[in-house]
Structure 1
């Protein structure tokens, strides 16, 4: 239509017989065609911009800037739906909507605390065997969830992920240091317990068995290990040797007792013999 209007206007200009009214009419027709074409072009541009603007509404932007964008979208949609909207109104709607998009304010998410927890727990997972199994169960999965939360859209999600991972980290407990207990067990194993009295050796034997069982328990606490070291060491300190002097004295006492018994028996026999001889002599004298 615009091309035809332009050609008609050009023909009127080239026609030497065309009067002023004809030239005005040709110019008016050309202007109207241009206006109609402009409205078509600008409305298409407006509708495309409206579609683009709607895509920003789900973005991570401040509430205030999103509200301003929604207001601009509503006004632009009204202009696009208005068949009587002027070029100026459509152009204004385009300008306002473009400005609202440009004015969107991104929300700055703080992931520093979460990143710190991820760093700490990553190191823990790499050395997972250093921890009591029951206290780090599922820790690797929680780490993966936290890493995914680094791309969260809201601060609330990031803070929640941080709290969850921190709690898991603080609940983890390193295995007890049993080196001192192992050394003490090795020392006790080297002792010849038969060289000590049974009464003093029995507690050592019992505590040694408990200590060995403790080494096999992955859940044992450091406090329990420390207490076991003290208990076993105390029982070792209380060992009483079976001394050579004590053994010799006992044997000597036994020998002396036997000798005394033999001497007593011999003396008794002598006394009986003497008595018999004396009685025999008295009887002879009497006769």
Structure 2
């Protein structure tokens, strides 16, 4: 419009120079040529941009989502450009459509089993387990918690962490109950060594030393505790009293206690034998009287 107005003024001016006429002609020619560049129709491009509003980043891979954002940025630049031509609009549309088509759905990672395993282990009481097995489990628990909190963790990583923590959990060993072993040791310590033969007492002393070592060993297994209980019980049962001595009963045997001591006491044996003989004699007299 500006070039056309200028041309009209010069055309009506009889005093216009040839130079002014040529310049106005050139300006108007260029302006007319520019009118061949039609303004692009952005309707479809705008609709396509609007359609991406409902897309959720977390549903797609990082790489494909980044490509979409770049295409969206370019499309919005074209939409905001008043002088954008149809060719530019079409190019932005094609790039955005390609980015949408190229979106790759992210892997849906199931962490439910891992979460349940972590919660199970966190609910355990450390002092109930043998220290070495507990310490061996801690790195696996830490690794599992890290994977659980990692939003980009793959299913393979989750499964591996869950398997490792499960194995560590299964390898935990409860501390064995050592109450009976402690009772046996206390019972042995309460006996009077002078009342028993040297060789049988030496066996008890040796087993007491071993039993104490197991009692104080935080890493002792259930099998080791049971073996120590059995060995000390056998040693106590094998005690033999010296001739003329009665068994030391200063530490009474509890009902049902597997550590009840076999006396081996000659005095008590004689008493039991005498009672038996008296009973037999009485029975014999009774039979004769009846006859």
TM-score, normalising length: structure 2: 0.54
Note the C-alpha offset of 1:35. Answer: 5.1
Alpha-carbon separation, structure 1, partners of 2:40 and 2:74: 20
- Aligned match of 1:147 in 145, 149, 164? 145
Note the C-alpha offset of 1:169. Answer: 1.7
Mapping of residues 44-55 of structure 1, within 5 Å: none
Note the C-alpha offset of 1:195. Answer: 1.3
Question: Which residue of the partner structure matches residue 15 of structure 1?
Answer: none
Question: Which residue of the partner structure matches residue 131 of structure 1?
Answer: 129
Alpha-carbon separation, structure 1, partners of 2:140 and 2:112: 17
Alpha-carbon separation, structure 1, partners of 2:87 and 2:215: 87
Note the C-alpha offset of 1:122. Answer: 0.9
Task: Assess if the C-alpha contact under 8 Å between 2:60 and 2:105 holds in 1.
Answer: yes
Alpha-carbon separation, structure 2, partners of 1:130 and 1:71: 54
SS in 2 for 1:235: helix
2:195 paired with 1:192:
no
Question: Which residue of the partner structure matches residue 172 of structure 1?
Answer: 172
Task: Assess if the C-alpha contact under 8 Å between 2:64 and 2:99 holds in 1.
Answer: no
Mark the structure with the bigger radius of gyration. 1
Question: Which residue of the partner structure matches residue 117 of structure 2?
Answer: 117
Note the C-alpha offset of 1:155. Answer: 0.7
Alpha-carbon separation, structure 2, partners of 1:33 and 1:109: 55
SS in 2 for 1:150: helix
Task: Assess if the C-alpha contact under 8 Å between 1:130 and 1:175 holds in 2.
Answer: yes
- Structure 2 residue runs without a partner (length 5+): 6-31, 79-83, 246-265, 268-291
Question: Which residue of the partner structure matches residue 217 of structure 1?
Answer: 217
SS in 2 for 1:136: helix
Question: Which residue of the partner structure matches residue 87 of structure 2?
Answer: 85
Question: Aligned pair in 2 of structure 1 residues 37, 92: CA closer, same or farther (>3 Å)?
Answer: closer
Map Cα deviations across residues 144-182 of structure 1 (whole Å, 9 max, x no partner).
321221244211111121122222222222222212211
Task: Assess if the C-alpha contact under 8 Å between 2:37 and 2:85 holds in 1.
Answer: no
Mean Cα deviation higher: 207-216 or 91-100 = 91-100
SS in 2 for 1:244: coil
More helix by share: 1
Question: Which residue of the partner structure matches residue 260 of structure 2?
Answer: none
Note the C-alpha offset of 1:106. Answer: 4.2
Give the aligned length: 205
Alpha-carbon separation, structure 1, partners of 2:148 and 2:228: 45
Task: Assess if the C-alpha contact under 8 Å between 2:118 and 2:141 holds in 1.
Answer: yes
Note the C-alpha offset of 1:203. Answer: 0.5
Task: Assess if the C-alpha contact under 8 Å between 1:184 and 1:233 holds in 2.
Answer: yes
2:39 paired with 1:36:
yes
Task: Assess if the C-alpha contact under 8 Å between 1:131 and 1:175 holds in 2.
Answer: yes
Task: Assess if the C-alpha contact under 8 Å between 2:117 and 2:162 holds in 1.
Answer: yes
Alpha-carbon separation, structure 1, partners of 2:59 and 2:134: 34
Question: Aligned pair in 2 of structure 1 residues 166, 38: CA closer, same or farther (>3 Å)?
Answer: same
